[in-house]
Amino acid sequence: MKQARPYPQVVISRKAARSLKAGHPWVFEGEVVRAEPAADGTPVANGGVVDVFEENGTWQGAGLISQNSKIRVRMVTRNANDRIDEAFWARRVAWAWQHRRVAMGGRALPGCEPDTNCCRVLFSEADGMPGLIVDRYEHVLVTQVGTIGMELLRPVIYPLLLKTLREDGQDVRAIYERNDSPSRAKEGLDQYKGWWEGQGAEVPETPRIMVVENGLKFDLDIENSQKTGFFLDQKYNRRAVRELAGGRRVLDCFCHVGPFGLNAAAGGAEFVRCVDVSQTAIDLAAANARLNGLEATMDFTCANVLEYLPELARDRKRLREEGGPFDLIVLDPPAFTKSRGTVEHASKGYREINYAAMRLLPRGGYLATCSCSHFMTTELLKRAIADAAHQANVQLKQIEERQQAPDHPILWGAPETHYLDFLTFQVV
């Protein structure tokens, strides 16, 4: 590369260069050979921009360095003409919002709100913003920052988000920061949460928000709920359950605040039983049922699903008390594994819950099942489900194989961005 660039340099191993060329955006601590100041003497700064070179002098791109993290550099561009300034980040924000408008703008249910009213606006590496998550809930953006680079860029990127969305006619007024994840410690960052009081942002009186998704109302507490407030990645998978639910008795397992169950009820289910281990989640699910006028066809149980399903299979009286037999079961468990080392244990868990569900379903019944961990690959999940079917002595007729919604884009070359698999079957 002949032109001079103003950034410090990180020299990486040949192995790391091969990974970058294949499309993966990370350089790990052990892959850094050395770091050098810029040509004008500017030193490497934690969270700052660095140029990345292979040992043979080949420029590989530019990224943000995290000196306290095992992921030492997160790439943001492979274009040597890019200067990492405000205009660069403005383009990234604009491209990300354009992606949501194109992928989701025309898919709203008839008579319902636009799908972009509640969606993920920025998805970290997949949108070229490594370590930054931004979810939109009607007029509020909820953010999570996981890297020192994005922490330092907040005063630049947040106003750009507000400007881009408002120029597109979107009613976005405030930003709430959920920077309370323990994982921030890996970057040397403190934990905190609260309203961002920067340029152009309002400060609402309450972190409670009424949102509408798929025509259904949800009362969210963005201050205390899981993640940023809601699991937006299942938006279209919930519609798939709605399409299957008409006239059926539905068991919604790991229901959280009830979105699958509510969609089933809205789709004409005869009855819906929602089950979750958290009493708080059950209370919120029941409140959301009342909010939508669906409480007459829904009921709620606080129980550990891993114990609850086998209990129903053993005790037919208990099954009838819970509203069964059921002919559609939804399994939306939390991630059973968050590391490669526990995948085998996780596979056993997925096999067990799917086996338990298949035992409860009659021939001709329906199963919707998923995994939300990228370590549990599509192939491993399918193998666990197939083993469960063999053990239950049933055969599965696949209806659909789905993934996360397109506002959580999958970046090819970065398998970590593909983390959600959702499959529906008829049991025959």
The per-residue pLDDT for 428 is 95
pLDDT single digits (tens) 182-191:
999 999 999 9
Task: Name the segment(s) of the chain with CATH classification 3.30.750.80.
Answer: 86-209
Task: Name the segment(s) of the chain with CATH classification 2.30.130.10.
Answer: 9-77
pLDDT single digits (tens) 394-410:
999 999 999 999 999 99
More confident residue, 99 or 224: 99
Per-residue pLDDT band for 2 (boundaries 50, 70, 90) equals: very low
The per-residue pLDDT for 228 is 82
Compute the C-alpha angle 151/153/159, nearest 5°. Answer: 120
Average pLDDT over residues 149-156: 98
Question: From edge to edge, which strands make up the β-sheet containing 71-77?
Answer: 26-28, 71-77, 59-65, 49-54, 9-12, 32-36
The per-residue pLDDT for 342 is 79
Average pLDDT over residues 211-230: 90
- Whether 149 has a pLDDT exceeding 90, the answer reads yes
To the nearest whole number, what is the mean pLDDT of the chain?
95
pLDDT single digits (tens) 226-264:
778 789 999 999 999 999 999 999 999 999 999 999 999
Please tell me which residue in 118, 255, 370, 372 is annotated as part of the active site: 372
Q: With pLDDT > 70 as the criterion, what percentage of the chain qualifies? A: 99
- In angstroms, the CA 153 to CA 425 distance is 45
CB under 8 Å to 29, separation ≥6 — which residues? 69, 70, 71, 72
Does the annotation count 370 as an active-site position? Answer: no
Average pLDDT over residues 301-314: 95
The per-residue pLDDT for 369 is 98
Classify domain 86-209 by CATH number: 3.30.750.80
Task: Name the segment(s) of the chain with CATH classification 3.40.50.150.
Answer: 231-427
The per-residue pLDDT for 252 is 98
Record the tokens describing residue 38, joined without a space: 């810029």
The per-residue pLDDT for 3 is 59
What is the architecture of the domain spanning 9-77?
Roll (2.30)
Domain 231-427 has CATH 3.30.390.50: no
pLDDT single digits (tens) 339-390:
677 788 788 999 999 999 999 999 999 999 999 988 889 999 999 999 999 9
Is pTM beyond 0.75 here? yes
- Whether 211 has a pLDDT exceeding 80, the answer reads yes
